[in-house]
Each structure stands twice: as C-alpha cells, then as structure tokens.
Homo-oligomer: A and B are copies of this chain.
Amino acid sequence: MGNKPGRPKNQTARREALVDAAGRAIAERGLEGLRIKDIAAEAGMSAGSVLYYYPEMGELVLEVHRGAVERYLAARQGAVDGATGAAARLRALVGSGLPGGSGDAVHGLLFELHRRADRSSGHATLMASLFAREVALYATVLEVGAAVGEFTLTEPVADVARNLVALEDGYGLHIVSRNAELTPDVARRLLLGYARTVTGCPVL
C-alpha cells in the first residue's frame, strides 16, 4: 500500500536546473538561436535529458518566462520596500524598471521572451500579467504618496501608473536595442520628469 517506488523523483530540482540553463542560453544566443545542445551543455547534461524532462521545447521556454517575471517583480518589490518616503519609493521603482544598459541580462531576457507574445497565448498572458502587476506597484506608491500629502495628483492614479510603465517599456526597448541617444540616465531623467509634473512633487 504505502509502497514507495524504486528511485526517488527529484524531477523538480532537475527541471529547475534546466529552466535556469535555458534562461542563460536564451540571454546569450537569443530565442532564435536556442538549441537543445546548448541548453544541455549549459546545464551540464546530455541533449537526451533535456528531451526527457521537456519533450516540448515551448514548455521549457514558457517556464523560463514565468521564472523571469516572478524574479523581476520580486526585485522591484524589494526595491520599493528598501526605500523610505513616497518620493524615494517612486525613484526606487523607476530605477528598478529600466535596464542598466544594452547588456542588462534581466531586461534583455524579458524583452526576448515578450517577443513570443504575439504568437503564443501563454507568453501573452504572462506579459499582460507583468504589465498589470507593475502598474499595481506604481499605483500603490502613488496612492500612498497622495494620502500622505507628498504627491498631488491631477490625473487618475490608474492612468499615471500605466503611463509610467509604458514609458519604462518604451525606453527600455530602446536601451536594450543600443540606441546611443537613450542612455539609462537620460531615460530615468525623462521618466522622473513626467513623474514630477504629474505628482507636483519637486524633489523627484
């Protein structure tokens, strides 16, 4: 009855290793250049093992996307939590939402994965949920700031929050794409400029 089968299944650990390896492979060579052998090499196992755990490559990529989204959101949440005061929290949020440069691994990976959204509904859902949760992050900071009196909003919070995330995405895209005019610093300045006018908070 309570019989345990032969070998223990530590599939979860193995899968995690593969997702991790695939993430690195994608970041390096891009989705287009993703090869099973590369993932295997990156994970230190054979190509056959990759197929054993993920017969469908799309499933693995989707898992990578899920993980990247969660980690990214956690990092941003952490950035907010680490700051004190509405203005500082907003600055932290902006700072955590822009790529650090064209080589930024996290943003690069996310944009790469977002590419799948127009053809795979799984990726589309992830991308939409990421957007919604980022908006929620901004909305909270803005609302608290308004409640405390640090911010004076003239536009609906929901609108401002969405614009901030859209600005991040727009500028982020160009930064990752190596637009020389749009350095992270310039983008941050522009984003904070918008935040300033719309919150009426001069110290931003």
* CB within 8 Å for A168 and B169 given contacts A108-B118, A127-B177: no
Interface residues of A in 92-148 (CB under 8 A from B): 102, 108, 114-115, 117-119, 121, 124, 127-128, 131-132
Binds B, one of A9-17, A48-56, A73-81, A154-162: A154-162
Q: Mark A175-203, 1 if CB is under 8 A from B, else 0.
A: 01111111000000010011001100000
- Residues on B with C-beta less than 8 A from A32 are 31-32
A67 contacts the other chain (Cβ, under 8 Å)?
A: no
Least Cβ–Cβ distance between A187 and chain B, in angstroms: 8
B residues within 8 A CB of A166?
166-167, 170-171, 174, 190
The answer on a CB contact under 8 Å between B170 and A30 is no
* Inter-chain contact A173/B173, CB cutoff 8 Å: yes
User: Are B31 and A197 in contact (CB-based, < 8 A)?
Assistant: no
Measured between beta carbons, the chain B residues less than 8 angstroms from A154 are: 197
Cβ contact within 8 Å between B163 and A167: yes
Q: Are B193 and A159 in contact (CB under 8 A)?
A: yes
Number of copies of this kind of chain in the complex: 2
> Of B121, B128, B178, B193, which contacts A118 at CB under 8 A?
B178
In the bound complex, what is the Cα–Cα distance between A194 and B191 (angstroms)?
13
Which residues of chain B come closer than 8 Å to A179, judged between CB atoms?
Answer: 124, 127-128, 131
B169 and A173 form a contact (CB under 8 A): yes
Q: Does A165 contact B (CB under 8 A)?
A: yes
* A127 and B167 contact, CB distance less than 8 A: no
Residue of A168, A179, A182, A198 with most partner-chain B CB within 10 A: A179
- Residues of A at the B interface (CB closer than 8 Å) are 30-32, 102, 108, 114-115, 117-119, 121, 124, 127-128, 131-132, 154-155, 159, 162-163, 165-171, 173-174, 176-182, 190, 193-194, 197-198
Known A118-B178, A165-B170, A197-B198; further 7 A-B contacts with Cβ < 8 A: A30-B118, A118-B176, A118-B177, A163-B190, A166-B166, A169-B170, A194-B194
